Homo-oligomer: A and B are copies of this chain.
Amino acid sequence: MSRLAVINPNMSVGFTDKIRDQAQRTIYPHNQVIALNPDFGPDSIEGYYDEAFASVGLLSVIRTLDPTGIDGYVVACFDDTGVDAARCLTHAPVMGLCEGAIRFAQALAGRYAIVTPMHVSVRPLEHLVRKYGADRDCVVRAAGVRTLDFEGENAAMAYDALYQRAQKSLHDDGAEAIVLGCAGMTDIADRLKSDLGVPVIDGVQAAIKMVEGLAELKLATSKHSTYGTPPAKSYHGMFDGFAPAFV
């Protein structure tokens, strides 16, 4: 039995609830999952500035949870906010939605498109895609809506914009599968798959399955270099309590 934590690095409780629902539907019955968000930080993550603050929130959650025995972490944001830092902090495997979704997409299609809500996210996601070695097979497109449009009264409009952009990408980019480029879309994968007739990959589900697999195999993050435990040192001011004090 593995215990997983899915962490929404922003403060939107609505998102966290939606992600928790998806996580509970996704996880194998013999495993356990908790979903939570930090108790400080931004309401949503739209670009590098929000991401810097959300990273600290993410790390604060992991610091609290880790001693309770978590076997794997999912960072429930498509920007993979703070994943590298989180890998330094814990021995348990850590994965963001973008990495998880890309790994599954690469196994299912020769070319695929990430469709994300806002234009401002396109270049940062392209940088992630390149970091993950997928830039020759993956294009990033924006539906031209805001993240929060997928909830409430704009939801139908947002879905339509997403559908249109995905459809266009199948035709113009030669995409063969669609990756949902935002944690907030986690509940519409099935509908979109049915409407488009191609695989639609939700990062929440993909990352959970990857981390469940890693945890089951007792595979831990290497502490040999890149993700080595931070050397002990002093932190000051409002970060005083976050100093690494590891062996």
Contacts and interface: CB of A to CB of B under 8 A. Distances in A.
B103 A224 contact: no
B124 A48 contact: no
Nearest to A170: B224
A107 B100 CA distance: 9
A198 B219 CA distance: 10
A209 interface: yes
Contacts of A127: 110, 131
Interface residues of A, number: 97
Interface in A162-183: 170, 174-177
A244 to B, nearest CB: 6
A109 B48 contact: no
A233 to B, nearest CB: 5
Given A108-B93, A225-B176, A50 B230 contact: yes
A233 B136 contact: no
A49 B176 contact: no
Contacts of A104: 210, 213-214, 217, 219
Contact of A109 (B119, B132, B224): B224
A214 to B, nearest CB: 6
29 contacts: A11-B236, A28-B216, A40-B236, A40-B237, A41-B236, A43-B236, A46-B231, A47-B230, A48-B84, A48-B88, A49-B85, A53-B56, A53-B235, A84-B124, A95-B107, A103-B106, A104-B213, A104-B219, A106-B132, A108-B219, A109-B226, A110-B222, A110-B226, A111-B123, A123-B226, A130-B131, A135-B136, A176-B225, A238-B238
